[in-house]
Every structure is written in structure tokens, then in C-alpha cells.
Amino acid sequence: MSDGIRHEWPLFEVFVRAKRGLNHVHVGSLRAADHGMALQHARDLYTRRNEGVSIWVVRSDDVVASDPDDKAAYFEPSADKVYRHPTYYAIPESVPHI
């Protein structure tokens, strides 16, 4: 290459919806010069076997992630909110449809 530096395409994260009714799930990443190319590459790379009906691509540097160090502060406070779960409530067996 002319200036001895590799001109890398940016990294994109790829999400595929396997079939209607399901969430898009993260399947991996790839490199592309722009979003259009990223979609084509995602189609060629991640749906060779009938894997999906829809693809999202997102620039990896646009993803904002929670810090694992914040795990306790972020997620543990919800652990004791037992009243959010249906099994917390005692209903007699004889009551139907609830």
C-alpha cells in the first residue's frame, strides 16, 4: 500500500431476525466501508443457510454498553423485587384462569 498503513473499514455489529415474531439477535460483526456494504456483507456472511428474514447492522463504535464494574449497582437492586414475579402471590388452586 502506498503509505504503508492499512486502511481499515469500520467494524459493524450484525443482528439477525430468524423468523417473524422473534427478536433480532446479535450474531457477530464484520467490516464494511459503509452501511450499505455492511448489509450486503451481513447477508452473505450470516445468512448463507436460511438464517433470517431481517438484518440490522450498527456501527460498533455507536454501541454504548454498561460497564461490568457497574453490574452490582445496575442489576442487583432488581433481584429482591420479588413482588414483580407472579409466583409471589398465593391464589387458591380452585380459582381458574389466573
Partner 1 sequence: MAFDDAYGALTDHDDDARWAYGTGFTDPLAGVPSGLPDGVDRADLTAYCLMLGDDALVMSHRLQQWVTRAPELEDELALANIGLDLLGQARLLLTRAGEAEGAGRDEDALAYGRDPGEFRNVRLAERADADFAHLMARLLVFATWRLALFDRLAGSSDQMLAAIAAKGVKELTYHRDYAAQWVVRLGDGTALSHERMAAAVTAVLPLVEELFQPHEVELRLTAAGVAVDPAALRPEFDAVLTQVLAAATIEAGPVRAVAAGTGRGGEHTEALTEILAELQQLARAVPGGSW
Partner 2 sequence: MTGEEIFADTIARDQRVEPRDWMPDGYRQTLIRQIAQHAHSEIIGMQPEGEWITRAPSLRRKAILLAKVQDEAGHGLYLYSAAETLGADRGDLTQRLIEGRQKYSSIFNYPTLSFADVGVIGWLVDGAAICNQVPLCRSSFGPYARAMIRICKEESFHQRQGYELLMTMMGGTPEQRDMVQDAVDRWWWPSLMMFGPPDADSPNSARSMAWKIKRHSNDELRQRFVDMSVPQAEALGVTLPDPELRWNAEREHYDFGTPDWSELQRVITGDGPLNRQRIARRRQADSDGAWVREAAAAYAEKQRSAGNGSGR
CB neighbours of residue 56 within 10 Å: 15
Q: Is 27 in the site for partner 1 (CB under 8 A)?
A: yes
36 vs 71, beta carbon nearer partner 1: 36
Stretch that binds partner 1, among 19-27, 66-74, 79-87, 89-97 (CB under 8 A): 19-27
44 vs 61, beta carbon nearer partner 1: 44
Buried/exposed 13-29: b ≥16 CB within 10 Å, e otherwise? bbbbbbeeeeeeeebeb
- The amino acid that residue 75 corresponds to is F
Stretch that binds partner 1, among 43-51, 59-67, 68-76, 85-93 (CB under 8 A): 43-51
Q: How far is the CB of 1 from partner 1 (least distance, A)?
A: 12
d(CA 4, CA 2): 6
d(CA 10, CA 33): 6
Binder among 11, 29, 37, 56 for partner 1 (CB under 8 A): 37
